């Protein structure tokens, strides 16, 4: 059986080799990296960051931490499925896959994508901001942990001091974000400040490779995230009463702009994984009908089709349409069956020359279902006026905090961050310090800090 991992993968960011696995039985370098992540402050703070709905609304709704745990479980399921059905590239390490999944949202700032847009706007002239780039920066730079370096001394200059292969597992977009941009609009990639590190990662993991870099573990994490997003975020939307199955279909059938947007984005995703695109916009609605077929099918036996029967049929349809919002057992069964069927539909696309850069994808039918639900939920829920109001306010909070910390030259930052600001040699690096601090805030901490700076928060005794 091929060996998917080499000794170069186990070299750590500091330059030292991974642990001697003969002396530390049962604890591989990837398992050690997994442990370092789960004990990191940035990982704990995910519990205070919104996934879809603010946690203050209900403790039922997922946050970034619970979402990441679900993504890790799905990613582990995908890797186990591949290990059992296709050994052409060797066995995929489950600890490494779960690390990638648990870490994938570390870089998300408070208040979701609007917070991300606000920080990117503030950083246009200083290298930009993007959640995935921030994730790499957190594990490689800002999340401090004492680790032995090549000289045997101790240093906190290497973040969590992870192995090269582990760092590669969160390198989702192989593109350097420009140092300066004139227009807004997120650029997916990594920061120029981590450019040298990315080059070292590529050299260690796939020496000589010249194409678009993305490891198989990162590909699994990305797919698991899509599955979770299209299933569990949908569950939250159903539970919150934002949507119903018939409501989804009504939006597709009666709103041609919505239907075309979902159709176009679904086809873009299909083409990216080399699947044939849908031919008709109506296929999008047919896909949704298929997903909810068992819930929406009419089991009644109406005889004459008169007005009374029509009324009863309408009541029956209404009951079946809202049952996922009211019946938690049925909702759990629905999501469990969906996730299980999607994991079974995953297929490996091996790369014979560089097996570590192999990819995974869903079957055509499963990809279509995931993308349709993902984009429908985005258009009907995330872009709804009720959520837009909350997120718009969050954007103002993030923007105000960044401006205040930067314009006061870091004087309002906590002591350790203030020291980093003072020691930063350039304006761009000082801006990045402020950006790192704001991005690491939870929603609640950001709101409280904003209130202290701009509201009635007059106490000087509450620590920063």
Are the CB atoms for 136 and 170 separated by under 8 Å?
yes
Are the CB atoms for 221 and 77 separated by under 8 Å?
no
Are the CB atoms for 448 and 464 separated by under 8 Å?
no
Checking if the pLDDT of 329 tops 60, the result is yes
- Identify the H or E element spanning 10: none
What domains can you pick out in the chain, each with its CATH number?
A: 7-215 (1.10.3210.10), 217-386 (no CATH)
pLDDT tens-digit map of 362-420: 999 999 999 998 888 877 776 666 666 666 788 899 999 999 999 999 999 999 999 99
- Give the separation between CA 413 and CA 419, rounded to whole angstroms: 9
Q: CA-CA distances (angstroms) from residue 428 to 123, 128, 137, 157, 434? A: 9, 10, 15, 19, 10
Task: Give the pLDDT confidence score for residue 251 in this predicted structure.
Answer: 84
pLDDT tens-digit map of 51-107: 766 666 666 688 899 999 999 999 999 999 999 999 999 999 999 999 999 999 999
Task: Give the pLDDT confidence score for residue 376 in this predicted structure.
Answer: 85
pLDDT band (50, 70, 90) for residue 153: very low
Give the angle subtended at the CA of 189 by the CAs of 69 and 212, to the nearest 5°.
Answer: 100
Angle between helices 256-272 and 282-291 (to 10 degrees): 80
Are the CB atoms for 78 and 343 separated by under 8 Å?
yes
pLDDT tens-digit map of 218-239: 999 999 999 998 888 888 877 7
261 versus 382: the higher-pLDDT residue is 261
What's the count of helices (H) and strands (E) in the chain, helices before strands? Answer: 20, 4
Instruction: Decide: helix, strand or coil at residue 44.
Output: helix
pLDDT tens-digit map of 127-136: 999 999 999 9
Task: Give the pLDDT confidence score for residue 114 in this predicted structure.
Answer: 86
Task: Give the pLDDT confidence score for residue 268 in this predicted structure.
Answer: 94
| Percent of the chain at pLDDT exceeding 90 | 62
Task: Give the pLDDT confidence score for residue 391 in this predicted structure.
Answer: 63
pLDDT tens-digit map of 416-435: 999 999 999 999 999 999 99
Angle between helices 29-38 and 94-103 (to 10 degrees): 30
- Give the separation between CA 177 and CA 201, rounded to whole angstroms: 17
Sign of CA dihedral 77, 83, 84, 89: positive
pLDDT band (50, 70, 90) for residue 123: very high
pLDDT band (50, 70, 90) for residue 144: confident
Checking if the pLDDT of 267 tops 60, the result is yes
Task: Give the pLDDT confidence score for residue 425 in this predicted structure.
Answer: 95
Task: Give the pLDDT confidence score for residue 35 in this predicted structure.
Answer: 95
Task: Give the pLDDT confidence score for residue 298 in this predicted structure.
Answer: 55
Please list, in sequence order, all residues whose beta carbon lies within 8 angstroms of the beta carbon of residue 389, skipping any fewer than 6 positions away: none
Task: Give the pLDDT confidence score for residue 55 in this predicted structure.
Answer: 61
Task: Give the pLDDT confidence score for residue 241 in this predicted structure.
Answer: 76
pLDDT band (50, 70, 90) for residue 189: very high
Supply 293's token pair. Answer: 């077929």
- Identify the H or E element spanning 171: none
- Give the separation between CA 434 and CA 45, rounded to whole angstroms: 18
| Percent of the chain at pLDDT exceeding 70 | 83
User: 160 phi and psi, to 5 degrees?
Assistant: -85, 0
Checking if the pLDDT of 299 tops 60, the result is no
Are the CB atoms for 360 and 346 separated by under 8 Å?
yes
**What average pLDDT score do residues 348-365 get?**
96
Q: What is the pTM of this model?
A: 0.89
- Give the separation between CA 201 and CA 295, rounded to whole angstroms: 48
Per the prediction, the chain carries an average pLDDT of 86
Q: DSSP characters for 233-281? A: HHHHHHHTTS--HHHHHHHHHH-HHHHHHHHHHHHHHHHHTT-PPPS-T
- Give the separation between CA 459 and CA 464, rounded to whole angstroms: 11
Checking if the pLDDT of 111 tops 50, the result is yes
Task: Give the pLDDT confidence score for residue 56 in this predicted structure.
Answer: 62
- Give the separation between CA 464 and CA 461, rounded to whole angstroms: 9
Residue with tokens 């101790």: 154
Which string of b and e fits 435-452 if b means at least 16 CB within 10 Å? bbbbbbbbbeebbebbeb
Supply 451's token pair. Answer: 């209130």
Checking if the pLDDT of 265 tops 90, the result is yes
- Give the separation between CA 290 and CA 346, rounded to whole angstroms: 19
Give the angle subtended at the CA of 173 by the CAs of 120 and 274, to the nearest 5°.
Answer: 130
Strands 154-155 and 346-349, bridge-based pairing: unpaired
Sign of CA dihedral 169, 175, 179, 184: negative
Task: Give the pLDDT confidence score for residue 387 in this predicted structure.
Answer: 64
Supply 59's token pair. Answer: 């403790």
- Give the separation between CA 343 and CA 353, rounded to whole angstroms: 26
Instruction: Decide: helix, strand or coil at residue 24.
Output: coil
Task: Give the pLDDT confidence score for residue 156 in this predicted structure.
Answer: 59
The closest of 63, 56, 13 to 36, measured between CA atoms, is 13
**What average pLDDT score do residues 136-143 get?**
96
The beta strand positions in 398-449, using DSSP E, are: none
- Identify the H or E element spanning 407: helix 385-407
């Amino acid at each position: 059986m091929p060996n998917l991992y080499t000794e170069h993968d186990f070299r750590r960011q500091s330059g030292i080799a991974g642990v001697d696995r003969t002396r530390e039985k049962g604890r591989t370098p990837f398992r050690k990296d997994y442990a370092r992540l789960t004990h990191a402050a940035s990982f704990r703070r995910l519990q205070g960051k919104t996934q879809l709905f603010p946690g203050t609304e209900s403790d039922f709704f997922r946050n970034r931490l619970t979402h990441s745990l679900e993504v890790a479980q799905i990613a582990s399921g995908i890797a186990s499925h591949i290990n059992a059905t296709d050994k052409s590239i060797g066995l995929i390490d489950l600890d490494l896959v779960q690390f990638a999944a648990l870490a994938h949202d570390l870089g998300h700032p408070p208040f979701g994508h609007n917070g991300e847009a606000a920080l990117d706007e503030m950083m246009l002239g200083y290298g930009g901001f993007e959640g995935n780039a921030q994730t790499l920066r957190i594990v490689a730079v800002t999340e401090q942990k004492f680790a032995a370096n090549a000289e045997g001394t101790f240093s906190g200059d290497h973040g969590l001091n992870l192995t090269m292969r582990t760092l590669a597992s969160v390198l989702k977009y192989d593109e350097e974000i420009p140092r300066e941009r004139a227009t807004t609009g997120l650029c997916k990639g990594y920061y120029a400040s981590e450019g040298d590190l990315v080059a070292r990662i590529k050299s260690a993991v796939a020496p000589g490779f010249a194409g678009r870099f993305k490891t198989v573990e990162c590909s699994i994490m990305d797919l698991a995230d899509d599955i979770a997003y299209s299933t569990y975020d949908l569950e939250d939307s159903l539970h919150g009463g934002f949507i119903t199955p018939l409501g989804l279909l009504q939006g597709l059938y009666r709103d041609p702009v919505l239907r075309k947007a979902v159709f176009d984005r679904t086809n873009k995703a299909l083409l990216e994984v080399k699947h044939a695109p849908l031919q008709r916009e109506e296929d999008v609605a047919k896909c949704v009908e298929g997903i909810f077929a068992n819930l929406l099918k009419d089991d009644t036996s109406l005889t004459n089709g008169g007005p009374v029967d029509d009324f009863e049929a309408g009541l029956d349809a209404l009951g079946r349409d809202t049952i996922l919002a009211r019946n938690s057992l049925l909702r759990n069964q629905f999501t469990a069956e969906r996730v299980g069927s999607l994991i079974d539909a995953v297929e490996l696309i091996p790369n014979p020359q560089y097996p570590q850069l192999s990819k995974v994808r869903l079957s055509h039918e499963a990809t279509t279902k995931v993308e349709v639900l993902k984009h429908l939920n985005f258009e009907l829920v995330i872009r709804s006026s009720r959520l837009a109001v909350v997120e718009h306010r969050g954007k103002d909070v993030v923007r105000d905090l960044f401006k205040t910390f930067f314009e006061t030259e870091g004087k309002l930052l906590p002591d350790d961050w203030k020291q980093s600001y003072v020691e930063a040699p350039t304006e761009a690096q000082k801006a990045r310090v402020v950006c790192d601090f704001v991005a690491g805030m939870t929603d609640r901490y950001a709101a409280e800090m904003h209130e202290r700076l701009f509201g009635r928060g007059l106490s000087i005794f509450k620590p920063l």
